[in-house]
Chains A and B, each alone.
Chain A
Amino acid sequence: MSKRAIDTVFEALFTLTDLRVMLRDTAPFHELDDDEKKAAEEMIRTLEGDIKVLREELIR
């Protein structure tokens, strides 16, 4: 069992959910202000880290 992989899958899904809500809050044009861009950047960085962990855990 890879608890780390399980946790990472949820973390990634939750981060994607936060991005989804950002899309909702900024609909219909999705023009992000500086704070929103910063938050989006942080979320994307988290996702990139999650993908790296999943590679390590599942595709060894």
Chain B
Amino acid sequence: MKCTADIDVRDVDESCINIDPIQVGGRLTADAMKAVIAYGDGYSVCDHCRKPFRLDYIKKPPIQQFHKDLAKFVNMDVVRVVPGARRGFQAVAGTYVQKGDPVLITALSHYTEVLAVEGNGGIPREIPANTDNIITAEAAAETIEKVTAEFGRSPVLLFLDHFDYQYGNEHDVRGIIRVARQHDIPVVYNGAYTVGIMEVDGKGLGADFVIGSGHKSMASPAPSGMLAATDERAAEVFRTTAARTDVTGRTFGIKEVEMMGCTLMGVTLVGMMASFPHVKERVKHWDEHLSRGRRVIESLERIVGTRIRSEMPRKHTLTRVDTLKSFDRIADTHKKKGFFFTSELKARGIAGIIPGATRVWKFNTYGLTAAQSDHLARAFLEIAEKYGLDIE
């Protein structure tokens, strides 16, 4: 089936149970799909844009209200929508990081945090993870001391992922933020894997900024995301232009420098807005998603030789699994090599794991129905059984 002469229809989520580690939280709701149909044209949310000509002031569709609701949703004061969490990192780094400034990230930080720091001439320094791949407050305190000694001043910013993209492990954000505040270091809470799938209380955690990803966890089209700030920080990161051009003397009203004026001006924003009521509701059911994921983990653990590399018990539906001593042993001698596993999953209607992967791989069960997670759990066992792997 084709969309156009050269573009295939994408029907992976209609045909299969998709467990791609980065895709599942961004799957659109029916309402978002409908909004996408109606608002696909370029500047589609701008029909009723009036003075002062800024996205977050538009009342029809209710973008202004959405901004207020979104801030409340993560218990912060001010929100702007941004084209992906990474653009939120960039805006914060652009505000606080100067050339040569030390900036704290963690050993499990997303690469876009590093790029945001680098883009502003900052020098990233990592808080190491412990042997369980957890970032602790103790490690943060030690790293702050070390970096302060190295640079003769405190780091100017700390990027902190609540759950990381590699293991889906939970890190001690509350403890780390407490330590950072003792040193007056502003903290960016990276909620790419939390905001939109579980409840997040930004000010309760003491964060200066909360960043979320629309396409990763808020059932929204890409690229979309949100940058929330406290009132104090909002005045800095959302500062408005003061420029006046020299020849024409033009000024640019209340456009925000770090936002480059307006941000999500069409289908991405309206998709986020359409999903938002469902997102607000679904975060209350995080435990159900977690429990379905745990059922799948239990199945995998029964396959002798399989190791869950993520922290246990699981606190997130994104999991890293090591099948070097189970499925990878089959791949060693199978004519399809690691692709045997992909084929077996595909035959059972399961997609989203990197093709050919049988060593260490990731998957995410978020959003599956109970029937789908049961099917997935069974499928792993069936494949193991078929190839003679021992099952406990």
Contacts and interface: CB of A to CB of B under 8 A. Distances in A.
B14 A20 contact: yes
Nearest to B371: A26
B34 to A, nearest CB: 5
Interface in A21-35: 21, 23-25, 27-29
Interface residues of A, number: 13
Interface in B325-351: 348-350
A20 B369 contact: no
Task: Name A's interface SS.
Answer: helix
B30 interface: yes
Contacts of B15: 27-28
A28 B17 contact: yes
A4 to B, nearest CB: 17
A28 B350 contact: yes
A49 B96 CA distance: 58
Contact of B372 (A14, A18, A21, A27): A27
A18 B17 CA distance: 18
Nearest to A25: B369
B41 interface: no
Contacts of B38: 10
Given A10-B38, A20-B14, A23-B14, A28 B33 contact: no
B349 A27 contact: yes
A14 B372 CA distance: 25
A13 B39 CA distance: 13
Contact of B33 (A20, A25, A27): A20
Interface in A8-53: 10, 13-14, 17-18, 20-21, 23-25, 27-29
14 contacts: A13-B34, A14-B34, A14-B37, A17-B33, A17-B34, A20-B14, A20-B30, A20-B33, A21-B29, A27-B16, A27-B17, A27-B349, A28-B15, A28-B348
A-B pairs, top 9 by smallest CB distance, nearest first, are: A28-B349, A21-B30, A23-B14, A17-B33, A14-B34, A24-B13, A13-B37, A28-B16, A17-B34
